Amino acid sequence: MSKTFTREEVARHASENDLWVIIDTDVYDLSNFVDLHPGGAFPILELAGKDATTDFYGLHRQEVLVKYKRYKIGSIAGEKAQFSIPQPGELSKVPYAESSAFSGFKSPYYKESHFQFRTEVRKIMAELAEEFRELDQTDGKPSDELMQKLGETGLLACNVGPGPHLKGINIPAGVKPEEFDYFHEMIVHEEFARVVPRGVDDGVIGGFVIAIPTVLNFAKPHIREKHARDILLGKKRICLAITEPYTGSDVSRIRTTAKLSADGSHYIVNGVKKWITSGRYAQFFSTAVRTDKGLSMLLIERGEGVETKAIRTSYSPSAGTAYVTFDNVKVPVENLLGVENQGFKVVLSNFNHERLVMLMGASAAGRLAVEECLKWANQRKVFGKRLIDQPVIRNKLANMISQVEAFHNWLENLTFQMNHMNYAEQSEKLAGPIALAKYQATRMLHNVSDDACQIFGGRGITKTGMGRYVEMMQRTYKFSAILGGSEEIMADLGVRQAMKHFPKEARL
Ligand SMILES: Cc1cc2nc3c(=O)[nH]c(=O)nc-3n(C[C@H](O)[C@H](O)[C@H](O)COP(=O)(O)OP(=O)(O)OC[C@H]3O[C@@H](n4cnc5c(N)ncnc54)[C@H](O)[C@@H]3O)c2cc1C
Ligand code: HEM
C-alpha cells in the first residue's frame, strides 16, 4: 500500500532541498526535480509544500504525471481523488470522444467482438504510446523491434483489413480471421490515429498498408510466400513507389523504365521516384514502371543500384519519406506484379481500400481534436471564467462536433457497404462515394483543425505541452488532402462516377 500523509505534513517540506507538492490527492517529492523542471524552478518553488493541482492542470497534460510517476511518494490520508488517469484500454467518458456506439448509443454495425477488440488494441497502443511520442520528438526511425512488436500483436496485418492474409495471424481479443471485418479494421486505424503522431504513423504503417496489397493480390504465389509473411510480421518493410518528380496525380505519365534483358530473365530498371513513404527504411519497393507497351508493376528488392535519400516535409522525418533512384537495377521477371503492361489494374486495385484507411484515420483525428478541445475549454480559465463558459467557444465546439459526427456516420455507412459487397461490387459502386467522402474528410479536418487551434491559443501552435496534438494536426492534416488522391481529384472523380450512372431520361 502506498504511504499516506496529512496536508500539514506536506506543508513542512517547503524548501528548495526538501520540496513536496500535492497534485489532486497525490504527494510528489520534487526535491531532485526542481532544477530539472522544464518550466524552471520558480513556479514550483512558489508552490512548495502546497496544493498545486489547479496550476498543474493549467499547464501540463495528465500524461506528464504518468511519465514522472517516480516522484510520487504517496497520497493524502482519507481524501478521494478528483481526477482519474485512464487505465490502459479504458474508453473516454468525455462526450463525443468515442464514436456513438462506443459511448452507449445503439448501433446496427458492431458486435461484441468489436468492443473487445477495441479494448485490447487500445491496451497494446497505450503500452507503445511513449515510444511513438519519442519518435516524433526525435525524428527517429521506427525501430525493427517496434515493427516486430506490431507484427507479433497482429496489428500490422489487421491494418490491411479482412482477407486471407490474416490466416495464422494472432488477432487481438482472439478475433478469428474469418470474423474480422471492415469495422474491426476501422477500430485499428482509429486507435492508431489516437496515439501515433501523423508522420510516425506513416513511417510505421502508411507505406506498408498501401504497398503490401500489391504483393498479396498480384505476386506470383512463390514470391508471395517468400516475402509476404515477413512483411506482415514486421521483419521486412515495403513501400509503394509510383509518384515521380515529373508526375503525381497523372500516373499515366511516369517515366521510370523497365527493359527486358536479352535472355528475358530480368528487367533493367532506371528512373526516380519522389515522396515515397517509408522508402528510406524499405527492403521492398512495389514500383510502377514503363514497359514495352504500357505501365507495369515490379517488386524491387533493395540492392545494387537502389538509392534512397530523405525528403524533409512538414511532418516527422520518422515517416521515412524518400527520393528513390533506380540506376540499372536488375529485377528478376518473376517479380512482376500482375500482368506486363497491365500495371494500371494493380495501381487502381487498392485505391478504394487505401482511401478508406485514410478516412478512418481522418475521422479519429477529428474526434480526438474534439476531445482535446472539450477538456481544455473545461479547464482553462481566462478573464476569470472557463473557456467553455464563453458562447463563442461553445459555437466553435458545436461546429467541430457536428462535422465530425456527420462525417463519421457517412463513413460507417461506407464501411457497412464494404462488408456486404464483393470486390467487383465495391469497385463498381464505391469508388465515387469513397472519393467524395475523402474530399469531405479533409474539408472537415481543415475546419476542425482551424477551430481547435483558435481554442488552444498559443498552445495550439506549440509543439510540446498542452496543445501538442492540435499543433501536430494543424501541421499535418493537409497530408490527407494531397496523398492518396488530392482533394480536387477526389471531388471530380466522385461527380464523374455519379454521372456514369446518370439516367438518360432524367430532365428538370
Ligand atoms: C509526404 C508525401 C508522401 C507521399 N507518399 C507517396 C508514396 O508512398 N508513394 C507514391 O507513389 N506517392 C506518394 N506521394 C505522392 C502523392 O501521391 C502525390 O503528391 C499526389 O498524387 C499529388 O501529386 P503532386 O503532388 O505531383 O501534385 P500535382 O499532380 O502536380 O497536382 C498539384 C495540384 O493540382 C491539382 N490538380 C492536378 N490535376 C488536376 C485536375 N485535373 N483538376 C483540378 N486540379 C488538379 C491537384 O489536386 C493538386 O492539388 C506522397 C506525397 C507526399 C507529399
Ligand atoms: C509532478 C510535478 C511536475 C512535473 C513532473 C512537471 C513536469 C513538467 C514538464 C515535463 C513540463 C514541459 C511541458 C509539458 O510537457 O507539459 C513542464 C512545464 C511547466 N511546468 Fe511543470 N511539472 C510539475 C509540476 C509543476 C508545478 C507544481 C508547477 C507550478 C505551477 C509547474 C509549472 C510549470 C510551468 C510554468 C511549465 C511551462 C509550461 C508552458 O510553458 O506551457 N510544474 N513541467
Query: What digits encode the pLDDT tens for the residues 208-239?
Result: 999 999 999 999 999 999 999 999 999 999 99
**Any domain includes 83:** no
274: Cβ below 6 Å to ligand 2?
Answer: no
Q: Which atom of ligand 1 is nearest to the CA of 206?
A: 8
Of 34, 37, 47, the one to substitute when testing ligand 2's pocket (max ligand atoms within 8 A of C-beta) is 37
Residue 2 has a pLDDT of 82
What CATH number has the domain bearing residue 397? 1.20.140.10
Using CA positions, which residue lies closest to atom 12 of ligand 2?
A: 38
Closest CA to 319 of 196, 219, 437: 196
What CATH number has the domain bearing residue 252? 2.40.110.10
Q: How far apart are CA 23 and CA 393, in angstroms?
A: 28
The overall average pLDDT reported for the chain is: 96
Residue 453 has a pLDDT of 98
**Any domain includes 171:** yes
Q: How far apart are CA 226 and CA 18, in angstroms?
A: 62
257 and 308, same domain (yes or no): yes
Three cell numbers, residue 234 = 514486421
Using CA positions, which residue lies closest to atom 4 of ligand 1?
A: 275
- Residues (pLDDT < 70) of the chain are 1
28: Cβ below 6 Å to ligand 2?
Answer: yes
Q: Map residue 313 onto helix, strand or coil.
A: coil
**Any domain includes 205:** no
Closest CA to 479 of 313, 341, 350, 335: 313
What CATH number has the domain bearing residue 117? 1.10.540
Residue 1 has a pLDDT of 60
**Any domain includes 320:** yes
Task: Classify 195 in phi/psi space as left (phi over 0), alpha (psi -120 to 50) or beta.
Answer: alpha
Contacts (Cβ under 8 Å, ≥6 apart) of 210: 240, 277, 350, 354, 357, 484
What CATH number has the domain bearing residue 67? 3.10.120.10
Q: Map residue 182 onto helix, strand or coil.
A: helix
**Any domain includes 486:** yes
Q: How far apart are CA 507 and CA 497, in angstroms?
A: 19
The CA 172 to ligand 2 mean position distance, Å, reads 36
**Any domain includes 395:** yes
358 and 490, same domain (yes or no): yes
Q: How far apart are CA 203 and CA 207, in angstroms?
A: 7
Residue 127 has a pLDDT of 94
Domain limits for position 467: 350-500
Residue 69 has a pLDDT of 94
C-alpha 496, offset from chain centre: 30
Q: Where does a domain end: 162, 196, 230?
A: 196
Closest CA to 355 of 257, 490, 265: 490
340 and 357, same domain (yes or no): no
394 and 472, same domain (yes or no): yes
355 and 481, same domain (yes or no): yes
412 and 484, same domain (yes or no): yes
**Any domain includes 16:** yes
Say which ligand is closest to the CA of 251. Answer: 1
| Cell numbers 509518384: residue | 243
Tally of structural domains, the chain: 4
Per-residue model confidence as pLDDT tens digits over 345-392? 999 998 999 999 999 999 999 999 999 999 999 999 999 999 999 999
The CA 482 to ligand 1 mean position distance, Å, reads 6
